[in-house]
Amino acid sequence: MKGNKILVTGADGFIGSHLVEELVYRGYDVRAFVYYNSFNSWGWLDTVTKETLSQIEIFSGDIRDPYGVKQAMKGCNKVLHLAALIAIPYSYHSPDTYIDTNIKGTLNIVQAARELEIEKVVHTSTSEVYGTARFVPITEEHPLQGQSPYSASKIGADQIAMSFYSSFGTPVSIIRPFNTYGPRQSARAVIPTIITQIENGVRNIKLGALHPTRDFNYVKDTVNGFVAVAESANAVGEVINIGSNYEISIGDTAKIIADLMGREIVIETDDVRIRPDKSEVERLWADNTKAKELLGWEPAYSGVDGFKRGLSETIEWFTQPFNLRQYKAGIYNI
């Protein structure tokens, strides 16, 4: 794969850093777009091995800057666009930043891709664009429902990306991962929230709503989905779900984690973590048939047994003292 240069935006984040590692492992020439900051931090890429880091070209910039985005894309064959603001509670607080980052940032990517004649753009969507399931399992034809400013911004970004395929023939693919979890995930997500509270000795675990269901997707499966979409000519012009096709409630997830960690817990509902009634996505369950048929992708961590394996690997990472210290388990992370 040498000479096949890929730009990964959001490379400093949870999924992005895992994706960069996998691409390097597979022999790709990787340029990692990280968010510029005065601390010279490369996010989670600061924690990868020196051997891996030596094979990555770092580009510090801001996805909202069209000039910088175009500079980063020059000389690349493909772009895997993951950079986004993703925290739903923060989108209630500062929705304007989600429009700038998620919609305008995506416009910058596809506009530059059109001008530079990039071979493939893989744009990252989210299962949140579906809102509460009207039918299950959720196929790619499910209606889109903006139940939070975050999901609305991602719907807008998806439509911008696909409009460039329809209007200009820009080779865009949209990958739509369901709830990804694993090592390095932010504590604003429910699984790290549960693990870090338990590992810090808390018995009364504070959570939001317990009844909503999710289709949790282990990060290794999500990353393999990205690579499959990037490598498949069949994916151009398509929206593709990446999910485990296994549905479980937040409450039952917490019980499994406590059991795997050998702890007794009491779950307390924390009002500040509750979404507004009409904003809560009550049910998510992925139909992954299209990914299987179009890409030959299948989740390696599917069903209850796969979920437990993924959780065990996640727990092992989070409970290492150095990793645990990176998290502020005693506060609500929005």
Identify whether residues 268 and 319 lie together within a single domain. yes
Identify whether residues 132 and 258 lie together within a single domain. no
Residue 183: C-alpha distances to residues 18, 176, 187, 223 (Å): 9, 20, 11, 13
Average pLDDT, the chain: 96
The answer to the question of residue 332 being in a domain is no
| pLDDT exceeds cutoff 80 at 3 | no
Quick one: what percent of the chain has pLDDT higher than 90?
96
Report angle CA 141, 144, 150 to the nearest 5 degrees: 140
| pLDDT exceeds cutoff 70 at 318 | yes
**pLDDT value of residue 79:** 98
Identify whether residues 78 and 173 lie together within a single domain. yes
- Other residues' Cβ atoms within 10 Å of the Cβ of residue 329: 19
What is the extent of the structural domain holding 252?
A: 181-214+246-283+302-324
Rounded average pLDDT over 262-279: 94
**pLDDT value of residue 237:** 98
The answer to the question of residue 278 being in a domain is yes
Identify whether residues 164 and 47 lie together within a single domain. yes
| pLDDT exceeds cutoff 60 at 1 | no
Report angle CA 157, 31, 236 to the nearest 5 degrees: 45
Identify whether residues 100 and 188 lie together within a single domain. no
Identify whether residues 224 and 175 lie together within a single domain. yes
Identify whether residues 137 and 204 lie together within a single domain. no
Identify whether residues 173 and 185 lie together within a single domain. no
CATH of residue 227's domain is 3.40.50.720
CATH of residue 270's domain is 3.90.25.10
pLDDT in tens, 10-24: 999 999 999 999 999
pLDDT in tens, 224-233: 999 999 999 9
Identify whether residues 175 and 34 lie together within a single domain. yes
The answer to the question of residue 294 being in a domain is no
**pLDDT value of residue 2:** 53
Count up the domains in the chain and report the number.
2
The answer to the question of residue 290 being in a domain is no
Identify whether residues 114 and 21 lie together within a single domain. yes
The answer to the question of residue 333 being in a domain is no
The answer to the question of residue 140 being in a domain is yes
The answer to the question of residue 75 being in a domain is yes
Chain centroid to CA 5: 22
pLDDT in tens, 125-177: 999 999 999 999 999 999 999 999 999 999 999 999 999 999 999 999 999 99
- Other residues' Cβ atoms within 10 Å of the Cβ of residue 119: 16
Quick one: what percent of the chain has pLDDT higher than 70?
99
For the question of whether the overall pTM of this predicted structure is more than 0.85, the answer is yes
The answer to the question of residue 329 being in a domain is no
Identify whether residues 206 and 60 lie together within a single domain. no
**pLDDT value of residue 84:** 98
Rounded average pLDDT over 108-115: 98
Identify whether residues 14 and 72 lie together within a single domain. yes
Distant-in-sequence contacts of 127-132, Cβ < 8 A, 24+ apart: 127/176, 127/177, 127/178, 127/179, 127/215, 127/241, 127/243, 127/284, 127/286, 128/88, 128/154, 128/281, 129/154, 129/155, 129/158, 129/176, 130/281, 130/284, 131/281, 132/280, 132/281, 132/282, 132/283
Overall size of the chain counted in residues: 334
